[in-house]
């Protein structure tokens, strides 16, 4: 079983960056209207701009967080970038960000290509490396920004980049993780063209009508909506229960359950399966939509900042989706620095 228990590291700060441009929900298909979309997904609007990449938003969030923490950039020994919308196929976006952020050349930097579960996976990797104390400070940047190519605006996905500050603290409670993967469902959420297996041709640039009544070209994301819904409402509750059982976590002590912001109907089903109160399950998707690997930290920044900044808070975070991949983490913050939302 894929469980991890990592000690001596803690989250000390979080921040998020989004475009300032707000796009309301509109209908892009004859299959449903805007009101029906809002009712099903809980999404009213999103932040959108083709002027910014994920790294632009993550860079802005990181700069704000470093300043608010008062960290010396020279002390940051690791930078991890989690996204499925990097700047380039190569080089790694983390290397570019190391330079743009003015971090030391002694800082290790690398990318992780994961979507909805990405923040949890990234957190496990960076904390595993830091738990020995050889690296004292680290930054995890996670997010996605799906710039469009002359195609109708995507109704489900929003733009966001987040930064999470990790610090070595001897004796810290750290993180407990549960992970899982089901690659047989790889095509449930897929961008079929643009990688090495199916490289782009002129034909792939021509939009074609899909089963959901929307036009897409070959290197846009395709989703089997009902398969993904069934996966989410089944897998997320099981993963959370496994984590709590494995580590004998007292559910009464958990203040918030922060889920990947897929859609409200899915997350409400998960909440009810776990018998959680509405107050325990915050939502950011209403105004930011599905922001992939950014969704858990973005929700903490935008929905919980005033509630958690001045005290110790206990969380369970669960990310699930593209891959198919899922990860659940139990952690605490103690008077964290949560930066004001950065709008570009």
Could you tell me the pLDDT band of residue 323, with boundaries at 50, 70 and 90? very high
Taking only the tens place, the pLDDT of each residue in 93-125 is 999 999 999 999 999 999 999 999 999 999 999
Question: CB of 13 within 8 A of CB of 295?
Answer: no
Tell if the pTM clears 0.85, that is, is over it: yes
* Tokens 């620095």 sit on residue: 337
Q: What is the DSSP string of 116-181?
A: TTHHHHHHHHHHHHHTTSSS-EEEEEEEE----SSSPPPSSB--EEEEEEEEE-TT---EEEEEEE
Taking only the tens place, the pLDDT of each residue in 192-211 is 888 889 888 888 888 888 77
Taking only the tens place, the pLDDT of each residue in 307-317 is 999 999 999 99
Question: CB of 317 within 8 A of CB of 296?
Answer: yes
CA-based nearest residue to 65, from 142, 168, 162? 162
pLDDT at 26: 60
Question: CB of 169 within 8 A of CB of 5?
Answer: no
Rounded to whole angstroms, the Cα distance separating 258 from 321 reads: 15
Query: Could you give the domains of the chain?
Result: 1-344 (3.40.47.10)
């Amino acid at each position: 079983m894929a469980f991890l228990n990592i000690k001596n590291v803690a989250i000390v700060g979080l921040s998020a960056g989004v475009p300032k441009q707000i796009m309301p929900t509109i209908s892009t298909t004859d299959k449903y209207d805007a009101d029906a979309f809002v009712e099903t997904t809980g999404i009213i609007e999103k932040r959108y701009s083709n002027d910014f990449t994920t790294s632009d938003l993550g860079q802005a969030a990181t700069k704000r967080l470093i300043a608010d923490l008062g960290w010396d950039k020279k002390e940051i020994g690791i930078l991890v970038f989690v996204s499925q919308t990097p700047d380039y196929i190569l080089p790694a976006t983390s290397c570019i960000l190391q330079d743009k952020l003015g971090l030391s050349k002694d800082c290790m930097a690398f990318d992780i290509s994961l979507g909805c579960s990405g923040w949890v996976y990234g957190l496990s990797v960076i904390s595993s490396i830091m738990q020995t104390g050889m690296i004292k400070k680290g930054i995890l940047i996670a997010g996605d920004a799906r710039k469009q190519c002359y195609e109708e605006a995507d109704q489900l996905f929003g733009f966001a980049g987040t930064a999470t500050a990790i610090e070595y603290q001897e004796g810290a409670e750290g993180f407990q993780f549960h992970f899982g993967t089901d690659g047989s469902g790889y095509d449930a959420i897929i961008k079929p063209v643009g990688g090495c297996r199916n490289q782009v041709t002129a034909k792939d640039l021509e939009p074609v009508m899909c089963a959901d009544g929307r036009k897409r070209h070959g290197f846009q994301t395709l989703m089997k909506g009902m398969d993904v819904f069934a996966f989410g409402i089944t897998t997320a509750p099981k993963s959370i229960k496994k984590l709590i059982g494995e580590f004998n976590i007292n559910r009464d002590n958990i203040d918030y359950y922060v889920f990947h912001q897929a859609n409200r109907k899915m997350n409400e089903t998960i909440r009810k399966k776990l018998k959680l109160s509405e107050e325990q399950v915050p939502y950011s998707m209403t105004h930011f939509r599905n922001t992939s690997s950014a969704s858990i930290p973005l929700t903490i920044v935008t929905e919980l900042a005033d509630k958690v900044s001045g005290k110790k808070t206990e969380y369970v975070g669960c990310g699930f989706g593209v891959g198919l991949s899922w990860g659940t983490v139990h952690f605490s913050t103690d008077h964290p620095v949560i930066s004001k939302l950065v709008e570009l």
